[in-house]
Amino acid sequence: MDRTAAGDRRATDAQPRVHRRLGAALRAALYRRLAEDDDRAAYWVRHVRIGVLLTETACAVSLGYVLLTDTAAHASLVVHCLLAVAAFGTPGLLLLPLATWMRDSRGSLLFYGWSLAVTVIVAGVSRIDGGSSSPLYSLLFLTLAYMALAYPPAGVVVTGTLMAGTYVFVVAPPHITLSVLYIAVIMGAFTTACAMASANSWDAYERQIQLLRAHQALASTDPLTGCSNRRAFLSRLETAVEETTPTVVCLVDLDGFKGVNDRGGHAEGDRVLQQVTAALNAAVRESDTVARLGGDEFAVLAEVTTVLPAADLAERLRQAVAFVGQHCGVTASVGVTEVVPGDDVHDLLFRADAAMYRAKTAGGNRVTAPA
């Protein structure tokens, strides 16, 4: 009895997990963030503007067709109202915070909702205009081609299938002829082509993002030690002086490092620099910054608290270097200075450098604050 009950509980618990996995897989297939930077967000804002222009043009052409042809749509108030809703409602999209939306799920939801609204309007107008004989359904081909750029391949397939199904089961009945099926097959083929174009477009975008991230990493990372370089450190320091969080700068200059190069060569020196970097990173939090400014000089930008004040942090850095350098006679002279909001970056570094120089001239292997 107990085993049966336990088995039932496991089966019951497994169902929500399966549903969550299916939901996650569905979201991954249908949704991708459209933009990760300002340039990409601006691209999608332009895309929406073009879509609004296309919609207005399509509404004008459709209205002209309805007014100039002797069909059921000519005198239909519903058709005129649907076209008016599309013509006057679509420009409202431009009032939305599009640049922000394109950076999260609202961007994809905007395009999916737009596609659904257009499909409903076109299906309604086409149905009244004569069903499968109405040329207005062709507007959905234009809609799918436009929207495909914003969808991942699975999203294109879902949208194209919805449009084809709408034509066969909503617009065409009761006259589902070979011509109707032919149009549905053509929509399927067009959907496949759009899905392939979407896949190629997203692959190219992802490769571009990977290259951009690799370039950013190379531009901000010291190639030998893997920590931040001078450029990245200065950038983060400029941000720190604009904030009010208690922060300090510690300049760490290695004592006795020249002897390592003289005795063991540059390969041994490189190994020591890598060990020092690892020790400094271990001595601070992940949110703090360890950078190699050049040669055997490092800098640390770290937040301080009452639990770990500036002097204690600097002493921790000194001890970390002394520990890894005990086999080769390497220690550290550490100059520490507090970051004052509104500080000039160059003045700040000058204070830290002066403190470090005082530690150096006093014999090294010590921590010194500005005089």
Q: 152-193, pLDDT tens digit by residue?
A: 999 999 999 999 999 999 999 988 899 999 999 999 999 999
pLDDT, one tens digit per residue, over 232-272 is: 999 999 999 999 889 999 999 999 999 998 888 989 999 99
Final residue belonging to a domain, choices 215, 241, 275: 215
Average pLDDT over residues 265-286: 94
Mean pLDDT rounded to a whole number for the chain:
90
Final residue belonging to a domain, choices 215, 249, 274: 215
pLDDT on residue 174: 87
pLDDT on residue 7: 55
For residues 194 and 236, state if they share a domain: no
For residues 261 and 320, state if they share a domain: yes
State the pairing for strand pair 366-368/331-339. parallel
Confidence of residue 9 (pLDDT cuts 50, 70, 90): low
Angle at 175 between CA 174 and CA 181, to 5 degrees: 120
For residues 183 and 254, state if they share a domain: no
| Residues 194, 163 contacting (CB under 8 angstroms) | no
Distance between CA atoms of 250 and 367, rounded to whole angstroms?
9
Secondary structure class of 247 (helix, strand, coil): strand
Residue 6 has pLDDT above 90, yes or no: no
pLDDT on residue 216: 83
For residues 175 and 260, state if they share a domain: no
Distance between CA atoms of 281 and 313, rounded to whole angstroms?
12
Q: Is residue 99 part of a domain?
A: yes
Average pLDDT over residues 193-215: 90
Domain with 358 in it: what CATH number? Answer: 3.30.70.270
Q: Is residue 74 part of a domain?
A: yes
For residues 281 and 186, state if they share a domain: no
For residues 151 and 243, state if they share a domain: no
Residue 116 has pLDDT above 60, yes or no: yes
Least confident of 18-27, 181-190, 202-211: 18-27
For residues 141 and 255, state if they share a domain: no
pLDDT on residue 215: 87
For residues 53 and 79, state if they share a domain: yes
pLDDT on residue 19: 66
Average pLDDT over residues 84-113: 94
Residue 63 CB coordination number (10 Å): 16
Final residue belonging to a domain, choices 186, 215, 244: 215
For residues 195 and 255, state if they share a domain: no
pLDDT, one tens digit per residue, over 295-313 is: 999 999 999 988 889 999 9
Residue 362: phi and psi, rounded to 5, are -85, 5
Q: Which domain holds residue 150?
A: 17-215
Number of domains in the chain: 2
